[in-house]
Amino acid sequence: MSSSSRQTYSVRAKNHPNHLVRKLFEVAEAKKTNVTVSADVTTTKELLDLADRLGPHIAVIKTHIDILSDFSEETTKGLAQLAEKHNFLIFEDRKFIDIGNTVQKQYHGGVLRISEWAHIINCSILPGEGIVQALAQTAAAEDFPYGRERGLLILAEMTSKGSLATGAYTTRSVDYARRYKEFVMGFVCNRSLTDEPTTETTKSEDEDFVVFTTGVNLSSSGDKLGQQYQTPQSAVARGADFIIAGRGIYAAPDPVEAAKQYQKQGWEAYLSRVGS
Ligand code: 5BU
């Protein structure tokens, strides 16, 4: 567990150099929630309905925008309006994984125009350091219109059975995060990583990467396709700052009630971790 994991979101918000991370912690503190809902529905109507109903209980909505059957500008405009209305951030779980030149085009422009509406994106470092460098470069360009309102999470580990995102892959994720920390907010992973035995970089005193943990579910231990679940309590105890739940919330008989339950459990686990 890193030392920052023991600090409150407000303390971390105050001290953090990254504007979007500060905003994220402020949202969590203001709404008393560390829940990210993974809204893996397949129509714009379902997505916007869900975002509006769950909005008060979440800090972040995570999308897979390419699974929508009717994606259009209405989708992203609607999402952006709801993000304003309910004060949450939008995380597109696109998992960029290609050479730098390609991911720049996939991120900024293209049919999905991800940079226009997603505050947070993520990438795998399988292609090497260039992917992080390329995305960071796009966001730092003088003509990039969204400036400090955008950030990247490195996909350092996965929850699926037999995941190969382990060992050197994971430690390199930490190295690259440190090298591009103006744009890299943290990781999608299953535990705190900042004390990993890295080979190329060393931890700075004030290092504070955000940990998003997927695979959170209160009533199931997995699915038939290799997904592996843990509870909000165990995720937060291992270092998750934000817990990501999909089917546990949107496929529950009452998604709003479910979101409230994850909010309560995630928040209590956080309070107990920071000792208040
Ligand atoms: P679920 O319904 O809570 O199982 O959905 C999990 C979501 O998180 C889904 O959108 C996945 O694509 C995403 N995910 C994951 O499950 N495991 C991972 O390691 C990563 C993302 Br990275």
Cα–Cα distance, 47 to 1 (Å, whole number) = 35
Enumerate residues 6+ apart whose C-beta is below 8 A from 6.
Answer: 273, 274, 275
Q: Where residue 4 falls among pLDDT bands split at 50, 70, 90?
A: confident
pLDDT of residue 221: 95
What percent of the chain has a predicted confidence (pLDDT) above 90? Answer: 96
Identify which of 211, 259, 268, 267 has the alpha carbon closest to the alpha carbon of residue 38: 259
List residues near ligand 1 (CB under 6 A).
38, 40, 64, 93, 155, 158-159, 188, 214-215, 217, 227, 244-248
In angstroms, the first-to-last Cα distance of the chain is 17
pLDDT of residue 86: 98
Cα–Cα distance, 158 to 191 (Å, whole number) = 11
Mean pLDDT score, 71-98: 98
Phi, psi of 44 (to 5 degrees): -60, -40
Instruction: Tell me the binding residues for substrate.
Output: 40, 62, 159, 227, 246-247
pLDDT of residue 147: 83
Mean pLDDT score, 249-265: 98
pLDDT of residue 2: 73
pLDDT of residue 227: 96
pLDDT of residue 276: 78
Catalytic residue among 49, 52, 95, 203: 95
Q: Hey, what are 33's tokens?
A: 């929630």
Mean pLDDT score, 81-88: 98
Question: Are 191 and 1 contacting, i.e. CB atoms less than 8 angstroms apart?
Answer: no
- pTM beyond 0.90: the answer is yes
Mean pLDDT score, 73-90: 98
Mean pLDDT score, 18-27: 98
175 is catalytic: no
Mean pLDDT score, 170-175: 98
98 is catalytic: yes
Catalytic residue among 98, 203, 260, 264: 98
37, 54, 97, 227, best to mutate for ligand 1 pocket (most atoms within 8 Å of CB): 227
Instruction: Compute, in angstroms, the gap from residue 167 CA to the centroid of ligand 1.
Output: 20
DSSP-derived secondary structure letter, 26: H
Find the range with the poorest average confidence among 28-32, 128-132, 147-151.
147-151
Residue nearest to atom 22 of ligand 1 (CA): 158
pLDDT at 199 over 90: no
Instruction: Tell me the binding residues.
Output: 40, 62, 159, 227, 246-247
Cα–Cα distance, 99 to 4 (Å, whole number) = 33
pLDDT (tens digit per residue) in 37-78? 999 999 999 999 999 999 999 999 999 999 999 999 999 999
Cα–Cα distance, 143 to 86 (Å, whole number) = 29
Query: Which ligand 1 atom is nearest residue 155's CA?
Result: 22
Mean pLDDT score, 228-248: 98
Q: Where residue 85 falls among pLDDT bands split at 50, 70, 90?
A: very high
Mean pLDDT score, 185-214: 95
Q: Half-sphere exposure of 205 toward its Cβ, with a 13 Å CA cutoff?
A: 1
Strand 35-38 relative to strand 60-63, pairing:
parallel
95 is catalytic: yes
Question: Average pLDDT over the chain, rounded to whole?
Answer: 97
pLDDT at 15 over 80: yes
pLDDT (tens digit per residue) in 237-246? 999 999 999 9
Phi, psi of 179 (to 5 degrees): -75, -25
